[in-house]
Structure 1
Amino acid sequence: MPQRRTVTSRSQEPRQRFAEELKALREGSGLTLRELGERLGWDHSLLGKMENGQTLGGPEVVGALDQHYGTPGFLVTLWELALADPAQFKEQYRRYMALEAEAMSLWHFAVSVLPGMLQTDAYAREVLAAGGIGGQELDRQVEARVGRRAWLVGKEAPAFRCILSEAVLRTPLRNAGAWREQVAHLVAMAERPNITLQVLPLEAGLHALVSTDVMFLKEFSGRTTAYTETAYHGELVQEYGEVERLQRAYDSMRDLALSPAESLKFIGRMLEEAPCDPST
């Protein structure tokens, strides 16, 4: 079971919180900046600037720090929050992501787009570009989004369940090769012991979450938090009665979904049917 992280009085401002966590983890390990740099193969001056908040570093060094400290995905998520322009991340979603970084288990329902943690680089790029993001900001947000994948494959990765509407799998990328890569990635992720994927077939008909993405997380305290999202609105849900209502809707929808084994076969057939990239 992942180690429970103690709630602290550290800053809630993402960039400062990221720097504080880096420094606290290093000091807790008893290493100097120079010793840490030698172990990781990174310049100690860069690590010092990251701890001072002068720079955020890149996904490679943050991933290396996550692995070194045994905190898979935790630092990457804080880095993503710090990297993001506050205007582009609604406050409620930022709060959800902060909780997600310390959750013991997660379960999602995707209406039309794959969850970020299951996206390949190419899929994330096309989804973000479709939302009007471009240039260097697009590159930064792609790096941030795909960096979170490491959280699902680490030694202490949380349990993760995702129900995908069949519509998600029927909406390919424009690039045939990139789409095949994405579907193959789903197959590989579905075979991991901590990940459960299910497909909700279109023939299941209408259900309570037909137009709403929903994400749940369970904290080590036992509390469950939800985040719902439509094309134009997102909401953090923490009130017990509302979370219970959403969870009942999720459970009834899960009863309509294919079993994990059937879902894996379904996704496998999608991979077989996916058009080949004519350039290969």
Structure 2
Amino acid sequence: MPNRRVISDHSQEPRLRFAEELRRLRIGKGVSLRQLGERLGWDWSLFGKMERGKTLGGPEVVLALEQFYRTRGLLLALWEVAAGDKPRFQERYRRYMSLESEAVSLWHFGVSVLPGLLQTPGYAEELLAAGGFRGEELRQQVEARVGRQELLTGDYTTPFRTILSEAVLRTALRDPDSWREQLEYVMEVVERPDVTLHVLPFSAGMYGLVSTDVWFLRLPDGRTVAYTENADRGHLIEESDAVEHLQRSYDAVRDLALPPAESRELIERVLEEAPVCART
């Protein structure tokens, strides 16, 4: 009789269960690792390592897989257990990510930082490092965040509208070259047909969403849900009256914001004013 495997607090079983599920889903979908990488925008070798249990990947790559396979929370739950720590996502955030995978359009308001869909690797690295990420975990988080931009660049893009406070564009990175690269990338992205960007200038004065980043998701059934977040927490809002209240605030902010053409001109001015790093 074979020896029974001992299950302890440090068992690798949850990690292996997660890896096995990833492989099962991919084979069931009929795609190779390379094809998966091409469709989601990550290096295919990362998915190979995840399927062999060599790495768990970051939350955003798991979210991308969740959306691709449409597992409605299963992969995120397995990933949390495999991580062996307290759950990374509250139930409402799990619900939000599930709904995001179904959304037919997205719109957003940013108070102080660019949304992940518009971030370059340099911007994402400095922002995540400021949030406490280090080493390999930081590298994975940056890779995962940039990979999510497949929503805007893939074959099946999701219409995306964002309003950015001028403060977002005036809060530069420490490295001048990285900052210029970020501004140039924003200028490139806003030329895409499914992306609309407004800048809310300082001259607009006070406004209703002064301390809140907010996302709205339009779902296939016509409903709209909202997700608000600050530095400490996020909150999913599905109640129609509360969502409508936020939408009115968002519409009021959009009325104060510059139209897309003038917004691009403002970004161009910020880019012209950005310092150039003289490398020796």
Q: C-alpha distance in 2, partners of 1:133/1:229?
A: 19
Aligned partners of 1:197 and 1:263 also within 8 Å: yes
The alignment yields a C-alpha RMSD, in angstroms, of: 3.8
Query: Counterpart of 1:118?
Result: 118
Query: Counterpart of 2:188?
Result: 188
Shift of 1:243: 0.6
Query: Counterpart of 1:161?
Result: 161
1:217-253 deviation digits (Å, cap 9, x = unpaired): 1111222111001222310111111111101110111
1:193-272 equivalence runs, <5 A: 193-272=193-272
Aligned partners of 1:74 and 1:102 also within 8 Å: no
Query: Counterpart of 2:96?
Result: 96
> Measured at CA, do residues 174 and 259 of structure 1 come closer, stay the same or move farther in structure 2, by a change above 3 Å?
same
> Measured at CA, do residues 247 and 49 of structure 1 come closer, stay the same or move farther in structure 2, by a change above 3 Å?
closer
1:132-147 equivalence runs, <5 A: 132-147=132-147
1:43-69 deviation digits (Å, cap 9, x = unpaired): 99x75972xx8456879xx8xxx9xxx
Aligned residue for 1:169, secondary structure, equals helix
Query: Counterpart of 1:9?
Result: none
Q: C-alpha distance in 2, partners of 1:160/1:235?
A: 20
Shift of 1:16: 7.0
Aligned residue for 1:279, secondary structure, equals coil
Identity %: 51
Q: C-alpha distance in 2, partners of 1:43/1:226?
A: 33
> Measured at CA, do residues 90 and 116 of structure 1 come closer, stay the same or move farther in structure 2, by a change above 3 Å?
farther
Aligned partners of 1:74 and 1:151 also within 8 Å: no
Unpaired segments ≥5 residues, structure 1 = 1-12
Q: C-alpha distance in 2, partners of 1:43/1:255?
A: 43
TM-score, structure 2 as length reference? 0.76
Aligned residue for 2:256, secondary structure, equals coil
Q: C-alpha distance in 1, partners of 2:105/2:177?
A: 32
Q: Find the structure with the greater CA-based Rg.
A: 2
1:1-80 equivalence runs, <5 A: 23-24=24-25, 26-29=27-30, 36=32, 50=51, 54=53, 74=68
> Measured at CA, do residues 137 and 47 of structure 1 come closer, stay the same or move farther in structure 2, by a change above 3 Å?
closer
TM-score, structure 1 as length reference? 0.76
Aligned partners of 1:120 and 1:146 also within 8 Å: yes
Query: Counterpart of 2:7?
Result: none
Per mean C-alpha deviation after superposition, the further-off stretch among 233-242 and 167-176 is: 233-242
Count of residue pairs brought into register by the alignment: 251
1:18-74 deviation digits (Å, cap 9, x = unpaired): 965764464354x7xxxx368789999x75972xx8456879xx8xxx9xxxx9x74
Aligned residue for 1:269, secondary structure, equals helix
